[in-house]
Structure 1
Amino acid sequence: MKVLSIGSDRNIFSGGSEARERIIKYGKFAEELHVIIFNSRFANHGSPFTIQKISRNTWVYPTNSKNRWFYIFDAYKIAKNIIHNSKFMIHNSLITCQDPFESGFAGWLIKRKFKIPLQLQAHTDFLSPYFRKESWLNKIRVLIAKFLVCRAGCIRVVSERIKNSLSRSAGCKLRFTVLPIFVDAEAIKNTPIKADLHEKYPHFDFIILMASRLTKEKNIGLAINAMAEVVKKHSKAGLIIVGDGPGRNSYSLLVTRYSLQNNVIFEDAVPFEILISYYKTADLFLLTSNYEGYGRSVVEAMAAGCAVVMTDVGLAGEILINKKDGLVVPIENGEKLKDAIISLIENKDLRENLVKNARDIFNFWPSEGDYLKKYLNCWAACKKQKTSF
């Protein structure tokens, strides 16, 4: 099978990156894999990216667009050349798009032209009201996605939450595969500790860890607001926020406003091996997002043996069951969040029980080989589907 993939993860251009290695593994299951990546021609430190052959049968193509408004048009032009030069055949080819928005629309245009089956992927809960409220662009994206989903051969989603919300809202019968991004739980469990948060921050007697991009949807401000209340009762509790993003300055100002400089510490993003050590030496992992497709960091924390408190997003209710494997609180509810954090600070037995139950999940966790077989089956099933144009 020849596969054309369209997405926006520019990390694929970086040698040794997780995204690149993942694409190389997917390519082993295809006759050829061609990956088109949306990018601005000035995004790579002022220099355009170049076409790269990253394995025997896998190529990556940058759009090098003038700006984001040309992404779809440029991807379409590149795809036409790939399909002609590599002689894609209708019966043995597939277009897969990493989102049902801009890349999905480009994929649909290519499908209409060449009659090649189309798979859409949904990695975020775009039907959440918080997604729509975030920006006018997201409102347009929701409209695009609703237009496209009935015109795809199949849809790969990363959680039951997305599947259920799409099933309720779509005006057609959809063909789903629920397949999250793979988390190598066994490797996480076996990774030795190389950095101990309690040794690094010995003035804290309870360490809460967050690891994410510092962006609006992650709602880091909710965690900071909750910490302002937590420290009134537990003055030696500390919140370590690991990650980069455009919200760093505004969150730092919020910390200053609450006089939490001694309790809230920002760290730049760290290598994944170090992050695993952070998971293993923190007392609690916290996720406060307004929406998530899945919540991969939660799975990583659970595999590392860290108790979890999270908002009701992504895998909550599917992988992590409230009061069994972790604690789940309503979105944007600072009072419930504060209560959940304090309950785990004060109740070590509860914390240890949640960790034990969470670890039991990984007794039945798929291996990487099993996961890749499911991914191939997902492609193969979609290739056979007939859809409207």
Structure 2
Amino acid sequence: MGKIVVIGAFGLINNQLDGQTVKTRNVCQLLRSYSSDEIMDVDTQGMRRNPLLIFRMIYRLIKCHTAIIIPARKSLTYLFPVVYIMSKIFRFNIILICVGGWQLEYFKGDSVNRPRVLQLKMCKKIRAFLPEMEKVNNDLKREFGFQNTEVFLNFRHINPLISNRNETETLKLVYLGRIQKRKGYETIFNFVDNLKNKPLNITVTFFGQIDKCDIEEFSSLVNRYSDYVKYEGELSPNQIQDRLSYYDVLLFPTTYYTEGLPGTIIDAFSAGLPVIATKWKLAEELICNEKDGFIVPFSDGQDEFNDRIVFLYNNRKILSEMKQCSRNKALLFSEEIAWQTLSKYLIHKP
């Protein structure tokens, strides 16, 4: 039996739940469920708090045959080169798993950030570089000549026993994820503001961690629209699919253009919920417009966002059909499919 090291932000110190931490935990759990190797984890957040843990990382890297790194921008810039150099000395493989769709812009640089030439050269030489989305994969091959990439979809454990359970006249909308202005909660409250003048039986429930800088404003808005809106705190990953199944539609009005393949949307599909989302960079690769959701303009899309919700309120048969399409779509993001992709790169010799 060999050893595999998973390096990433696990978010266990402060129970941080976002796309980065959830995917890191899921990859580690996938390996422990399917691999016969010993799985060791290295929490980058823990190393920031206690630099002495770097020595534990070094020891584990020396002993492993494969290091799987799931980096955010800072870790790709500073930690990844260290792991890469060690891989040449101690002869282990590196698999880099992407979160989000920002990698092309990161390597190219922009008006604020310089091009990352060193990281680019190293990433092209590792065992596998696994982006979340097909467009990112194709762009990396076309613009930089990557030959070691393959799409590694975000994934979830799909519970086959869960089915959508809202049978009331109320159209129950839900938001799940980090609660911050850039994730678009203003768009949701703008819609709710219009409800005051319409005889529509619609509610909105928010789940997720509230960013510190947005707590005051968000709490004020929830109180102002308390007839329509509730905030029900955080959900642990094993609660999400069951809780979502009591709602009708997930709202995802993000203003992050480089979102990748958000796990929140997979959770929604798994619970049989279609999604109304803004057209971020890769939205059309995940959501089939008018089949398992609606994609509205990324900028100035408020009116269409509102109209799509009202349309589903007035057309429950179409909503029911979209729920079934969403549930079928979820099967593409199962653990089994994720393992088929990842396992082919887990060889013992570098």
TM-score category of the 2 structures, normalised to the smaller one: 0.7 to 0.9
Task: Report what 2:85 is aligned to.
Answer: 112
| Amino acid of the structure 2 residue aligned with 1:334 | Q
TM-score by length of 1: 0.70
Pick from 21, 31, 40 the counterpart of residue 26 of structure 1. 31
Matched, 1:63 2:47: yes
Q: Cα 1:244–1:330, aligned 2, differ >3 Å: closer, same or farther?
A: same
Task: Report what 2:108 is aligned to.
Answer: none
Task: Report what 1:52 is aligned to.
Answer: none
Task: Report what 1:317 is aligned to.
Answer: 284
Alpha-carbon shift at residue 240 of structure 1 (Å): 0.7
Task: Report what 1:125 is aligned to.
Answer: 101
Q: Cα 1:255–1:13, aligned 2, differ >3 Å: closer, same or farther?
A: closer
Are the aligned partners of 1:180 and 1:294 in contact in 2 as well (CA < 8 Å)?
A: yes
Which SS does the other structure have where 1:233 is aligned? coil
Q: Cα 1:220–1:127, aligned 2, differ >3 Å: closer, same or farther?
A: farther
Partner Cα separation in structure 2 for residue 149 and residue 94 of structure 1 = 15
Q: Cα 1:128–1:372, aligned 2, differ >3 Å: closer, same or farther?
A: closer
Task: Report what 2:130 is aligned to.
Answer: 156
Q: Cα 1:205–1:158, aligned 2, differ >3 Å: closer, same or farther?
A: same
Are the aligned partners of 1:100 and 1:144 in contact in 2 as well (CA < 8 Å)?
A: no
Are the aligned partners of 2:81 and 2:122 in contact in 1 as well (CA < 8 Å)?
A: yes
Alignment of 1:213-362 (within 5 A): 213-246=178-211, 247-255=214-222, 259-272=224-237, 274-291=239-256, 292-313=259-280, 316-332=283-299, 333-362=301-330
| Amino acid of the structure 2 residue aligned with 1:11 | L
Alpha-carbon shift at residue 241 of structure 1 (Å): 0.7
Q: Cα 1:113–1:361, aligned 2, differ >3 Å: closer, same or farther?
A: closer
| Amino acid of the structure 1 residue aligned with 2:93 | P
Pick from 131, 153, 173 the counterpart of residue 146 of structure 2. 173
Partner Cα separation in structure 2 for residue 128 and residue 107 of structure 1 = 17
Are the aligned partners of 1:12 and 1:20 in contact in 2 as well (CA < 8 Å)?
A: no
Partner Cα separation in structure 1 for residue 282 and residue 293 of structure 2 = 12
Q: Cα 1:377–1:290, aligned 2, differ >3 Å: closer, same or farther?
A: farther
Which SS does the other structure have where 2:285 is aligned? coil
Are the aligned partners of 2:71 and 2:97 in contact in 1 as well (CA < 8 Å)?
A: yes
Q: Cα 1:345–1:146, aligned 2, differ >3 Å: closer, same or farther?
A: farther
Higher relative contact order (CA 8 A, sep 6+): 2
Alpha-carbon shift at residue 334 of structure 1 (Å): 1.6
TM-score by length of 2: 0.77
Which of 289-298 and 19-28 deviates more? 19-28
Alpha-carbon shift at residue 181 of structure 1 (Å): 3.1
Which SS does the other structure have where 1:179 is aligned? coil
The superposition leaves residues 46-74 of structure 1 with CA deviations (integer Å, 9 ceiling, x where unpaired) of: xxxxxxxxxxxxxxxx42535xxx6xxx6
Number of equivalenced pairs: 328
Are the aligned partners of 1:127 and 1:165 in contact in 2 as well (CA < 8 Å)?
A: no
Alpha-carbon shift at residue 26 of structure 1 (Å): 0.6
Task: Report what 1:58 is aligned to.
Answer: none
Alpha-carbon shift at residue 322 of structure 1 (Å): 0.4
Residue segments in structure 1 that go unaligned for 5+ positions in a row: 40-61, 130-135, 385-389
Partner Cα separation in structure 2 for residue 367 and residue 127 of structure 1 = 24
Partner Cα separation in structure 1 for residue 87 and residue 273 of structure 2 = 49
Q: Cα 1:160–1:175, aligned 2, differ >3 Å: closer, same or farther?
A: same
Q: Cα 1:287–1:141, aligned 2, differ >3 Å: closer, same or farther?
A: farther
Give the share of equivalent positions with the same residue, in percent: 16
Alpha-carbon shift at residue 38 of structure 1 (Å): 1.5
Partner Cα separation in structure 2 for residue 128 and residue 222 of structure 1 = 28
Q: Cα 1:297–1:366, aligned 2, differ >3 Å: closer, same or farther?
A: closer
Task: Report what 1:98 is aligned to.
Answer: 70
Alpha-carbon shift at residue 271 of structure 1 (Å): 4.1
Question: Superposition RMSD on alpha carbons, in Å?
Answer: 3.7
Partner Cα separation in structure 2 for residue 191 and residue 221 of structure 1 = 31
Which SS does the other structure have where 1:210 is aligned? strand
Partner Cα separation in structure 2 for residue 237 and residue 353 of structure 1 = 19
Q: Cα 1:80–1:370, aligned 2, differ >3 Å: closer, same or farther?
A: same
Residue segments in structure 2 that go unaligned for 5+ positions in a row: 16-20, 106-111
Task: Report what 1:190 is aligned to.
Answer: 161
Alpha-carbon shift at residue 276 of structure 1 (Å): 2.9
Partner Cα separation in structure 2 for residue 141 and residue 336 of structure 1 = 37
Q: Cα 1:329–1:127, aligned 2, differ >3 Å: closer, same or farther?
A: farther
Q: Cα 1:372–1:326, aligned 2, differ >3 Å: closer, same or farther?
A: same
Alpha-carbon shift at residue 190 of structure 1 (Å): 0.5
Partner Cα separation in structure 2 for residue 145 and residue 341 of structure 1 = 43
